[in-house]
Amino acid sequence: MTEKEIQNSKKLNSIKSFLPFLRPYKKQLIIAATSLILAASATLVVPLCFRKIIDLGFSDISHEQINLTFINLFAAAFVLAFASALRYYIVSWLGERVTCDIRKAVYSHIILQSPEFFETQQSGELLSRINNDTSIVQILIGTSISMAVRNLFLLLGGMTMMFITSIKLSLLILATLLLTVVPIMVMGKKVRKLSRNSQDKIALASAIAGEKINAILTVQSFANEQKEIRAFNTSVEASFLASKIRSAARGKLTFVAILLGFTSIITVLWLGAYAVSNQEMSGGELTQFFLYAVIVAGSIAALSEVLGDSQRAIGAGDRLLELLSIESQVQNPKEPFIPPSSANKAISINIQGLSFHYQSIPTNVLTDISLNIQAGEKIAIVGPSGSGKTTLFKLIQRFYDPQSGSISFDGVDIKNYKLDDLRKLIGVVPQDISIFSENALENIRYGDENASDQDVIKASKIAFVDEFVSKLPDGYSTFLGDRGVRLSGGQKQRIAIARALLKNPPLLLLDEATSSLDAESERLVQQALEEAMKGRTTIVIAHRLATVKKADRIVVMENGRIVEIGTHSSLVNNEGLYSHLAKLQFTDA
Ligand SMILES: Nc1ncnc2c1ncn2[C@@H]1O[C@H](COP(=O)(O)OP(=O)(O)OP(=O)(O)O)[C@@H](O)[C@H]1O
């Protein structure tokens, strides 16, 4: 295939890939097509009526004939009005409906991606795709396609009628029309390229804004507001420039299309006037021919306009399809293992020869990790920053698959679990806690959407959340603010613990906060954690002496490898990395 053929087949595929979204609405499509054909046919009948009116003249004919002619004209007008209105409603409805479905599909596709996807995609850009690109596709489905079909129908119908009226004049017009189409095609291609460019620029501007608004405290504390305003302005201006270039190209396209279209009609009519004067055709026939030529020219102009719009839509559609075609790196197994229903008791973990590197960097972050953890055991992981502790947590939750080795829960490789089932077994208390723009009750219920209010409050009491939430102005109904800005670090942690407890998981993964909490908060968080760990297998990334001392075993990591395993006292006596770290790192050591 030549490059052009590949491009064309891609274009076709872009449109084809949207077909599944249209499939559920066959009934509406049939109504739309019928009303569209009716309206176009009514338009094509009008010139016939006019020819009759002119050629009959009104002096020599009966009133009955006059009445019939005008009633016919009125009937055509009625069909035209009714069918056009129906077409407008159904087609707009389809556009809105399908866009809504595409939006839903894109969002659920994004949210099911593994974290690797989000390492390369900016959230602002993804939002722009959900909002802007889908809106453009809406124009395609809600307007452009129906305009294209209607005008194509008018073009073909008008041409046929023109040939019936006068073959000679029609052939002439056809020849001049060919001269019109070629430049339109060439220019249309350019517009499409520019459209994609302009959409990319808009997405980039949203991405920049989204990222900085999310990090507003960092922006303001470095007094970088003006810098960020300038950066955003530059990127918005770039998107304006891209749109300007696109609009100019589109404007030129419209100019060329209309001018060439009309030039060809005027030329032919000129010749038509001679034909009437030589009595080769009647005045009514020339009028009829003229009206069809106007319809044909109008439809060509409209088609060129639609071409511009659909180029834009295909650009946006391409981006959406590209997004929808990305498969998550972590997939559910074909035949998943069904965990037994008594799954809430502690589980054992077996890690065997685990090695892993992130796709972006080929050096191993974890190398040959092997570790057996018994059901109910409490393991503390310590190690210098960057030694791979958090990465190990990510692999246990199967956010990534290792390049070699395996992790098993109660003897079953975690790859055999459905992702949902696997993650239901794990409660995570991360360092970086997400609080959503909802009230306290709903924020905690995020751990288990089916939990009753009583369950939420029970978990809150164990996690010492009740202690501060009940003092808030509206208690559990208090809105916690965008991303929890109204909560302290220790309070957020306790919310995270309550969430994890509500899930009642057999395995707890705790990432101990490195930021120092005040003594009272620290005591409450520790107490909450101790409650949470009861009866479960627990792995904690430890930064405090109190935590490591309570652990059954301590795993010491360095450069992605396990270098020591033992209890606090045995490791301190070892004089290895642990004793060195213990002296330096543990705040209360
Ligand atoms: N998404 C990622 N892509 C590429 N490299 C990553 C990614 N996440 C982490 N890394 C790298 O992997 C290594 C281990 O990181 P990890 O977060 O697991 O360390 P850690 O022991 O938990 O450190 P800390 O105690 O500072 O949290 C680091 O060198 C880090 O730069």
pLDDT in tens, 229-247: 999 999 889 888 888 988 8
Q: Is 361 in the pocket of ligand 1 (CB under 6 A)?
A: yes
pLDDT band at 589 (very low <50, low <70, confident <90, very high): very low
Across the range 555-569, mean pLDDT stands at: 92
| Residue type for position 32 | A
Q: Whose CA is nearest to atom 31 of ligand 1?
A: 386
pLDDT, tens digit, 9 for 90 and up, residues 116-162 = 888 888 777 888 888 888 888 887 777 787 888 889 989 999 989 98
The pLDDT of residue 581 is above 50? yes
Ligand 1 pocket check for 59: Cβ under 6 Å: no
Q: Is the pLDDT of residue 583 over 50?
A: yes
Tell which wins on pLDDT, 183 or 238.
Answer: 238
Q: What is the pTM of this model?
A: 0.73
Identity of the amino acid at 564: E
With a 6 Å cutoff on the Cβ, whether 120 touches ligand 1 is no
Judge whether residue 398 has pLDDT over 90. Answer: yes
Check for a shared fold between 14-325 and 349-584: no
**Which atom, in ligand 1's list, is nearest to the CA of 366?**
14
CATH architecture of the region 349-584 = 3-Layer(aba) Sandwich (3.40)
Q: What is the pLDDT of residue 517?
A: 62
Say whether pLDDT at 200 is over 70: yes
Helix H or strand E encompassing 355: strand 349-356
Q: What is the pLDDT of residue 174?
A: 79
Mutation test residue for ligand 1: of 113, 358, 367, 397, the one with most atoms within 8 Å of CB: 358
For the sheet with 404-409, list strands across it: 366-373, 349-356, 404-409, 412-413
For the CA of 431, the closest atom of ligand 1 is 27
Check if 391 has its Cβ closer than 6 Å to any atom of ligand 1. yes
* Cβ-contact 314, 15 below 8 angstroms: yes
pLDDT in tens, 319-343: 888 888 888 888 899 998 888 775 5
The DSSP code for 514 is -
Q: Which amino acid is at 232?
A: F
User: How far is Cα 488 from Cα 288, in angstroms, rounded to an integer?
Assistant: 80
In a mutational test of the pocket of ligand 1, which residue from 118, 364, 390 has the highest number of ligand atoms less than 8 Å from its CB? Answer: 390
Residue given tokens 């066959």 in the structure block: 26
Residue 413's SS3 state is strand
pLDDT per residue as tens digits for the range 19-44 = 778 889 999 999 999 998 898 888 88
Classify 14-325 by CATH class: mainly alpha
Q: Domain-by-domain residue ranges, the chain?
A: 14-325, 349-584
pLDDT value, residue 14: 59
What is the percent of the chain with per-residue pLDDT over 90, rounded to a whole number?
24
385 lines ligand 1 (CB under 6 A): yes
Number of other residues whose CB lies within 10 A of the CB of residue 567: 15
Instruction: Tell me the per-residue pLDDT of 62-117, one tens digit each, with 9 for 90 and over.
Output: 788 888 888 888 888 899 999 999 988 998 898 889 889 988 988 999 999 988 88
**CB of 389 closer than 6 angstroms to any ligand 1 atom:** yes
pLDDT for residue 178 is more than 80: no
Q: Which residue has the tokens 């208390």?
A: 429
Measured in angstroms, how far is the CA atom of residue 389 from the centroid of ligand 1? 8
More confident residue, 174 or 450: 450
585/572 Cα distance (integer angstroms): 13
**Considering Cα of 491, then 493, then 496, then 500, what sign does the dihedral take?**
negative
Q: Which 8-state DSSP code applies to residue 484?
A: G
Show the tokens assigned to 540: 């904690």
Expressed in angstroms and rounded, the spacing between residue 367 Cα and the centre of ligand 1 is 13
pLDDT tens for 302-315 read 887 787 677 777 77
